[in-house]
Chain A
């Protein structure tokens, strides 16, 4: 399975600011995704990070709030913009394993907005 790292691992941010989260994979992967996990809740897919094109967002998530970049097959960023306390969550990137349908998660970024 791929080794996935995320930066930062946690952050405390003020309302109205933005935070960019990085996801790095140790091998090239075709599919990368971003999920959100609100406190005590399940995981919700935010978007698919497409290499070389705009991300594909799920219902309820928009590019202005969660801009995503994917410049190559091993790296992606998610920005949480104009944050409010409701954005306090764990943000996780995931990747599909090469040649199969197994999906692996990064360690997550725990974001607290005050």
Chain B
């Protein structure tokens, strides 16, 4: 069955450093992959979408890579700030389908 793996343990990093979160998936070939941010008591907020034919995508301090051979996406936040502290959800999805399939998320804590 399809499986999405994110490190469910919290990731603690020092302010100013680059945070790197990993998303691995198995048993399917997503046409695109999304990353969402979720704060406590809130719904997920869309951050970035990368398609299978794109290797890398950037938005301000965010960078996402998508390696379809390794079946892995990496999510980077450069110059991290305490305000970046949140849970980040990976969502690889097959083309043509509307529903979002989420990983369990990785909690990021940026320490001042």
Partners in one complex: no
List B residues at the A interface (Cβ < 8 Å): none
